[in-house]
Amino acid sequence: MTYDYDLFVIGAGSGGVRASRIAASFGARVAVAEEFRVGGTCVIRGCVPKKLLVYASHFGEDMHAAKGYGWTVGKSSFNWKTLIANKDVEIDRLNDLYLNTLSSNNVTLYEARATIVDAHTVNVEGRKITADKILVAVGGWPTMPDVPGIEHAITSNEALHLDEQPKHVAIVGGGYIAVEFAGIFAGLGSKVTKLYRGEQILRGFDHDIQNHLADEMRSKGIDIRTGTNVTKIEKTDSGIILTLTDNSTLNVDVVMYATGRAPNTMGLGLENAGVELAVNGAIKVDAYSKTNIDSIYAVGDVTDRIQLTPVAIKEGHAFALTVFGNTPTAPELDPVPTAVFSNPPIGTVGLSENEARAQGYDVAIFKSSFRPMKYTLTDISERSMTKLVVDKKTDKVLGAHMIGMDAAEIIQGIGIAVKAGLTKTDFDTTVAIHPSSAEEFVLMR
């Protein structure tokens, strides 16, 4: 049978664009459908705009620190509208780059929603288009709980486009996005109350990292209330009233929910082709990103494997190599280094102490806590911490964790060492870079 395209990709985020470009480089006829903007969650409404806001949130503290180094800092003020407008200009620029990437690689773009009709057919605005292979890369979407008045709450999507900076914001949730936006709003001068139903923020992270971040956030004025949830949301002329699980109330300007994301598969028509889904709507795939239907594949957050942009890119690239490059490739994803751009930031790779013990390892723990040199001439008390989890039997470093200045930059290099299976002795015999925070990883005894 002759198809309109060799590959039709639904979703032009990081994974879909990479898969399209690589497939096209092998000579495949490729088309992509995107109903919003090319670039996906990361570029348009995720890690990139969020990181720009994170940068903005640090300048107040930086200007305060500058006084200790002899700088006379004059009167300063912050303008939310200017930040959001400048952020939008940069997102437009990146969107254009992604559009150029598709165009320069001869990938046809349909700026419309596509749904699946059958194993080889998609519907784009009433037009039936056929393809030998279909790749679903539609990502995830924020989920909202069933709470009375939830329609008055926002998610991270809307937080990036608020007309005004809230004077007081409540952030519900305890994961990456919740702690990052708490740091953003607090750093920009908003009062922040963070509500989380669990015992400690950042569930699943190493317990020392969790506790250290909570302490630092509180020291920066963020009101963290664990074991607390919202039972009702009411909008009034003066703001929003939250009723909490202890029956107390909280008055805020904005309530933001960061309580999870779900695969964006609703209404996509996957059932028409018989594609198997998990209970949460995630598309089930094998190691090569193929579904139970031979002609349909899926990559990225829609599969709910590891919800990270670089992982989606690796999966998209591996798919193209496998299907169009005659090189079967399953992306190597373990261990995956990652960062949380909280204040202070976190970098982590490999097993936490709890995970290592749960897997039966007899571990040795090495930790270092220190005040970053940058703060020596200031009154800023923030401390950093590094931690290694080591298998006593083999001396292999099972996990490396850091919280503090430059953690995200430092953990990338450490991630290579952990993935390579290096030992604590390898770390110890590596010459330290002094003075730096990174040197702590090779000095812990």
Distance CA(4)–CA(17), nearest Å, equals 19
pTM to 2 decimal places: 0.95
Chain mean position to CA 169 = 21
Question: Pick the catalytic residue: 161, 207, 401, 434?
Answer: 434
Kindly state the average pLDDT of the residues 126-143. 96
- The confidence score (pLDDT) of residue 236 equals 94
Separation of first and last alpha carbons in the chain: 66
What is the domain class of 150-259 according to CATH?
A: alpha beta
- The confidence score (pLDDT) of residue 253 equals 97
Name the residue with higher pLDDT: 136 or 40. Answer: 136
**Domain definitions of the chain by residue range:** 5-141+262-324, 150-259, 338-443
Cα torsion 371, 374, 377, 382: sign? negative
Neighbours of 416 (CB within 10 A): 12
Q: Are strands 5-10 and 30-33 parallel, antiparallel or unpaired?
A: parallel
Task: Dump pLDDT digits (tens) for 57-109.
Answer: 999 999 999 999 999 988 899 999 999 999 999 999 999 999 999 999 999 99
What is the domain class of 5-141+262-324 according to CATH?
A: alpha beta
* CB-side neighbour CA atoms (13 Å) of 131: 30
b/e code 12-26 from CB counts within 10 Å (16+ = b): bbbbbbbbbbbbbeb
58 is a catalytic site residue? no
| pLDDT at residue 27 is higher than 90 | yes
Domains 5-141+262-324 and 338-443 fall in the same CATH topology: no
Chain mean position to CA 193 = 22
What is the domain class of 338-443 according to CATH?
A: alpha beta
